[in-house]
Amino acid sequence: MSTLFEGYSGTRHAYDEMFDAETLRAPYERLRTSLNDLTIPDLAARVEALQASYLDQGVTFDIGGEERAFPLDILPRVIEMDTWSGIERGVQQRVAALEAFLADVYDAGQVFADGVIPRRVIVTSSHYHRQAAGVRPPNGVRVHVSGIDLVRDDEGEFRVLEDNVRVPSGVSYVMTNRRAISSALPEPFADHRIRPVAGYPQRLLAALRASAPAGVQDPTVVVLTPGVYNGAYFEHALLARTMGIELVEGRDLECRRGRVMMRTTKGLAQVHVIYRRVDDEFIDPVHFRADSMLGCPGLIDAARAGNVTIANAIGNGVADDKLVYTYMPDLIRYYLGEEPVLKNVDTWRVGDADAREEVLDRLDELVLKPVDGSGGKGIVIGPRATPAELVELRTKILADPRSWIAQPVVQLSTVPTYVDGKFGPRHVDLRPFAVNDGQRVWVLPGGLTRVALAEGELIVNSSRGGGSKDTWVLAGTGRVAPHVEPEPAEPVAPTPTAPQTTGPALTDTGSGQEQQQQQQQGAARC
């Protein structure tokens, strides 16, 4: 056995993806063989180079205004072709159902009439927006990009943990992780046939162009960011750069006569599709928060008039509501007439009286989650909570049971992770990204594997100190699936001794705006 993994053993309850008790699992055989030549010092040097390269490249995210390198573990996670095709089908199915559901919710509401899900579940959701009712997206797509979070349970089965169809983030790290690992571990990389991830921006651009308002031959697509103080700014910039399109802030936009224009050096230019990374509540002060400095007044009206497409659509958040999540298996059956490929994690609706009783009895053994939370916010893990915390939780639940769901503690699977000079088991999840262009839902092979760097920790969010792994989806023996002809990216439009003139860069952002940029990261942080 390679010295690298000597003494490695998984945790007792969780499924370890590399080792089954003492033996190596099949997908990792080749990886271990090719790592055999490396010693721990070799590896340590490469780990160091890896971290330095992320700082130099500025592959970072912000926590409370502090810019940090996004942690990347050196050992990739490997997923076999067959396992992946199951995930792929499951995600495609899920997205199809979510699209049908959102279209229904903001239109006829047939699903309520048929009694599949109560209407009150929707209208009491904090992410349901009447402003979106009746807006019909040009090619019918509302979920242009989605990130369906999966975990692998103690049996090794992938299950859906939550749906992110507002502004799922993290895809930039999938792309940068791949490049970083291929240069950190060129030998193992060469020994594998790994499905590429670099085609994502072209897929996304093609989907965004396909969603342009009818009759626009050569649409202008932009990415809308809250600004440099937003935690995911790195990602926004990377997507805009790799798609070859403009990255705009709200103040670069202006609505005139129901059209959205951007301010350029040559005057105003019309925008047709906005891939927005600004939350609903901040996007249009006319309809939402009047104090928002991040959006652009009039955007929603322009969308309603059919002059601009907002991707993802306004109001998608209802589908992210964890109470709606509990209905997803039924919704898949209802809209698609199929059985779900990927199961949910077992979940109690605390709002239901029977369930509530059981949940309250077993608070100390369950995980309690607020239905509109994200980024691991507000989650209470029963077995780890103090009695005082449980009492407080009970009070909160009784005050507002609609806002909670409960799940058994899922022992997320583990993958060997390099911490403090050796490999130890750390829990991981997986966020595959899917792009819907209206014809087909395409799933990026791999997705973002997030890893909890503290031993035994189950919350993997980077806002809680989580890291990531490169995720290798192995290709079959034939040719590596060629990616579809990418659509060409559109060309980008083209006092004397007194203090020196100083640029606006350091001073032009009021602290209010800075705060908003940071605050509005509620949705789908990774």
Q: Which parts of this chain interact with other proteins (CB under 8 A)?
A: 55-58, 223, 228, 233, 236-238, 240-241, 246-249, 251-252, 256-257, 259, 262-268, 492-506
Query: CA 269, CA 221: separation in Å to the nearest integer?
Result: 11
- Burial of 357 from C-beta contacts in 10 A (0-12 / 13-18 / 19+): exposed
Q: Which is nearer to other proteins, 146 or 521 (CB)?
A: 521
Q: CA of 515: how far to CAs of 166, 231, 243, 506, 510, in Å?
A: 21, 11, 28, 15, 9
Q: Which is nearer to other proteins, 215 or 482 (CB)?
A: 215
Q: How far is the CB of 296 from other proteins (least distance, A)?
A: 13
Query: 122: which residues sit within 8 A by CB, 6+ positions away?
Result: 105, 112, 128, 318, 324
CA atoms 413, 418, 420, 421: torsion sign: positive
Q: Which is nearer to other proteins, 63 or 484 (CB)?
A: 63
Q: How far is the CB of 263 from other proteins (least distance, A)?
A: 3
Q: How far is the CB of 242 from other proteins (least distance, A)?
A: 9
Angle at 146 between CA 78 and CA 89, to 5 degrees: 55
Structure-derived torsion over alpha carbons of residues 251, 254, 259, 262, reported in degrees to the nearest 10: -60
- Paired tokens of 401: 């049971």
- Paired tokens of 282: 């901040």
- Paired tokens of 140: 């019918």
Q: Which is nearer to other proteins, 217 or 501 (CB)?
A: 501
Distance, C-alpha 414 to centroid of its chain: 20
Least Cα distance to 144 among 98, 86, 106, 199 occurs for: 98
Query: CA 144, CA 90: separation in Å to the nearest integer?
Result: 17
Distance, C-alpha 11 to centroid of its chain: 27
Q: Which is nearer to other proteins, 238 or 428 (CB)?
A: 238
Least Cα distance to 62 among 179, 294, 235, 251 occurs for: 235
Q: Which is nearer to other proteins, 15 or 54 (CB)?
A: 54
Q: Which is nearer to other proteins, 201 or 285 (CB)?
A: 201
Q: How far is the CB of 58 from other proteins (least distance, A)?
A: 5
Q: How far is the CB of 68 from other proteins (least distance, A)?
A: 12
Q: How far is the CB of 22 from other proteins (least distance, A)?
A: 44
Q: Which is nearer to other proteins, 242 or 461 (CB)?
A: 242
Give me the residues paired with residue 254 across strands: 261
Q: How far is the CB of 454 from other proteins (least distance, A)?
A: 26
Q: Which is nearer to other proteins, 59 or 135 (CB)?
A: 59
Structure-derived torsion over alpha carbons of residues 207, 213, 219, 222, reported in degrees to the nearest 10: -70
CA atoms 289, 290, 295, 299: torsion sign: positive
Q: How far is the CB of 54 from other proteins (least distance, A)?
A: 11
Q: Which is nearer to other proteins, 207 or 247 (CB)?
A: 247
Query: CA 312, CA 276: separation in Å to the nearest integer?
Result: 7
Query: 260: which residues sit within 8 A by CB, 6+ positions away?
Result: 253, 254, 270, 271, 274, 296, 298, 299, 302, 307, 308
Least Cα distance to 208 among 268, 276, 269 occurs for: 276
Q: CA of 285: how far to CAs of 152, 299, 309, 515, in Å?
A: 41, 9, 18, 16
Q: How far is the CB of 522 from other proteins (least distance, A)?
A: 23
The long-range contacts involving 376-381, CB below 8 angstroms and separated by at least 24 positions, are: 376/459, 376/460, 376/461, 376/463, 376/464, 379/459, 381/409, 381/458
Q: How far is the CB of 234 from other proteins (least distance, A)?
A: 8
Q: How far is the CB of 497 from other proteins (least distance, A)?
A: 6
Q: How far is the CB of 214 from other proteins (least distance, A)?
A: 15
Q: Which is nearer to other proteins, 308 or 342 (CB)?
A: 308
Q: How far is the CB of 499 from other proteins (least distance, A)?
A: 5
Q: Which is nearer to other proteins, 120 or 241 (CB)?
A: 241
Q: Which is nearer to other proteins, 223 or 473 (CB)?
A: 223
Least Cα distance to 250 among 298, 306, 205 occurs for: 298
